[in-house]
Structure 1
Amino acid sequence: MAGVHAEVFLAAGYAAFLLCAATGIDLLARYSHARSVRYRTAGFTYHHAHDAWICPEDQILTRSETDHERRLVRYRGRSQICNHCPAKDDCTDSEDGREVVRAMDPWPHSEAGRFHRGISLVVALIAGLILSAETLRNHAPLELAVLGAALVVVALMLWHLHAAFRTTPANFPIFRPTPLSPIPKEGPRTGYRKRKEVRR
């Protein structure tokens, strides 16, 4: 384009590539996290009201430990039941009962989420630095307009990625233990069993 040096378009194109890479890293990390959660809890159903998990054999896993340092909640089934369960060999090799781990904090507030967000943030920051350097080398109005538009896009991306760091760790989501409701006659196991029968 007349009045715009090719170097400006190359810089803007490279910055766009880096933004796509940063977005890709973030999306892949989010997908990997969700897939990991699905794998760890496959077949299990969480009951928020009772703060308990129901296994595929219709047994309850209750909270056994709250790890505030690692921001994890552990649930475990009763060993007396798990050790005599016909599905034990496919479920767990522990003699203490099957364990399910749940993160206290949603993505991207978890430690792994913040790590991957940090990588994406650095990649996007490099894109911003490249464009900023180009504004010092190219001063024509059209060149500055192209670089300015690209910088706005980078700034919006940086603001989005930095959101995980604006709220953590100083303002980490506060963990409030769920008050346990008394289990009614139709407890989570009974309700779960009925829902399975209805689906059949």
Structure 2
Amino acid sequence: MSASRPSPPEPADAASPGRRRGRRAGGADTREALLAAARSEFAERGYEGATVRRIADRAGVDAAMVNHWFGGKDALFTASLDLPMDPEAILEQVLPGDPERIGERIVAMFLQVWDGAGGGPLVAMIRSVAAHPDAARMMREFVSRVILGRFVGAVAPDRPDERAALCATQILGLGMVRYVLRLEPLASADHPAVVAAIAPTIQRYLTGSLDG
């Protein structure tokens, strides 16, 4: 009987000298290492500057682990902020349908996500943003690029950055008043009432004229 052939050693990544040899054992430790690395990279480089490769190298794992655990950069960014939402699921829920009613779908979706989580993660996020510049930078990029920027890109006729910023004033303002300040009657208003009050402004910011 011939001897079994030994497995070849795993090659080191010459382009990434800081990566440890071999792979981190799979499991929760890999996920937590990726989250820690992502928070550092996003804080230092911003959403655009941070790459999946850099995050994986910093965590000491293969870049494929990002897709395995999170499905991609957007979802990893969301997880690093500890927000109870999946950007892709939000887009799939909101984008299909009449573009002239997307404001209604956006407000309804945010209310559904925030109320489903009891508002807790949003309150923690706002407090973190107020106290830490890095957290504020990450949240700005999350709102402007990962979520609202993609809505705007799909329906806006012009001035996408301005439109995304204007939408953010309404969405984040709603979150602050409803879940942090708990200002009545908005804090306890039902979803249809909130949608009816705020969606027309969101819709104008997305698809209407910004010149008056």
Indicate whether the TM-score tops 0.5: no
Decide which structure has greater strand share.
1
TM-score, normalised with respect to structure 1: 0.24
Relative contact order: is structure 1 or structure 2 higher (C-alpha 8 Å, sep ≥ 6)? 1
Question: Which of the two has greater helix per residue?
Answer: 2
